[in-house]
Amino acid sequence: MDERHYEVAVIGAGPAGMTAAMYAARALKRTALFEGKVPGGELLNTDLIEDYPGFASITGAELAQRMADHSLHFGAELLPHRVTAVVPLGDGRHRIEVEEGDPYTADAVIITAGGEPRKLDVPGELALAGHGVSYCAICDGAFFRGERLAVVGGGDAAVEEATFLTRYASHVTVIHRRDQFRAQPVLVERARANPKIDVLFDHVVEEVVGDGQRVTGLRLRDVHTQAASELAVGGVFIFIGFLPNTQLVTVHVDHDAQGHYRTDDMMQTSVPGIFAAGDVRSQLTRQITTAVGDATTAAVAATKYVEEEQAPRAAAG
Ligand code: NAP
pLDDT of 195-210, one tens digit each?
Answer: 999 999 999 999 999 9
DSSP assignment of 65-79: HHHHHHHHTTS-EEE
> How confident is the model over 87-103, as pLDDT tens digits?
999 999 999 999 999 99
Q: How close is the Cα of 75 to the center of ligand 1, in Å?
A: 36
Amino acid 313: pLDDT: 85
The separation between CA 76 and the C-alpha centre of its own chain, rounded to angstroms, equals 22
Helix (H) or strand (E) holding 110: strand 104-111
Do the domains 133-238 and 5-117+242-316 match in fold? yes
User: Would the pLDDT of 317 be above 80?
Assistant: no
pLDDT value for 285:
79
Residue with the smallest CA separation from ligand 1 atom 37 is 156
Can you tell me which atom of ligand 1 is nearest the CA of 204?
20
CATH topology of domain 5-117+242-316: FAD/NAD(P)-binding domain (3.50.50)
| 33 within 8 A of 7, measured Cβ to Cβ | no
Q: How many CB atoms lie within 10 A of CB 75?
A: 14
Positions annotated as catalytic residues are 136, 139-140
Are the CB atoms for 21 and 71 separated by under 8 Å? yes
- Does ligand 1 come within 6 angstroms of the Cβ of 262? no
Lowest mean pLDDT, pick from 1-15, 34-48, 68-82: 34-48
Reduced DSSP (H G I as helix, E B as strand, rest coil) percent helix, strand, coil of the chain, to 5? 30, 30, 40
> pLDDT tens, 158-190?
999 999 999 999 999 999 999 999 999 999 999
The pLDDT score that the predictor gives to residue 246 is 97
The 10s digit of each residue's pLDDT in 56-89 is: 999 999 999 999 999 999 999 999 999 999 999 9
143's CB contacts (< 8 A; 6+ apart) are 235
Decide whether any atom of ligand 1 lies within 6 Å of the 120 Cβ: yes
Strands (E), 141-188: 148-152, 171-175
Residue 269: closest CA among 242, 298, 243, 247: 298
* pLDDT grade for 122, boundaries at 50, 70 and 90: very high
Judging by beta carbons within 10 Å of its beta carbon (0-12, 13-18, 19+), is residue 278 exposed, middle or buried? Answer: buried
Give the closest residue (by CA) to ligand 1 atom 36. Answer: 156
Closest Cα to atom 19 of ligand 1 = 120
The preferred substitution site among 159, 164, 286 for testing ligand 1, maximizing ligand atoms within 8 Å of CB, is: 286
Q: Specify the CATH superfamily of domain 133-238.
A: FAD/NAD(P)-binding domain (3.50.50.60)
> Is the Cβ atom of 125 under 6 angstroms away from ligand 1?
no
Buried b (16+ CB within 10 A) or exposed e, 13-38: bbbbbbbbbbbbbebebbbbbbbbee
Q: What is the pLDDT of residue 89?
A: 97
Cβ atoms of 138 and 36 closer than 8 Å? no
208-258 per-position pLDDT tens digit: 999 989 999 999 999 999 999 999 999 999 999 989 999 999 999 999 988
Report which protein residue has its CA nearest ligand 1's atom 41.
Answer: 156
Q: Mean pLDDT in the chain?
A: 95
Given this model, what pLDDT does residue 235 score?
A: 98
Structural domain boundaries of the chain? 5-117+242-316, 133-238
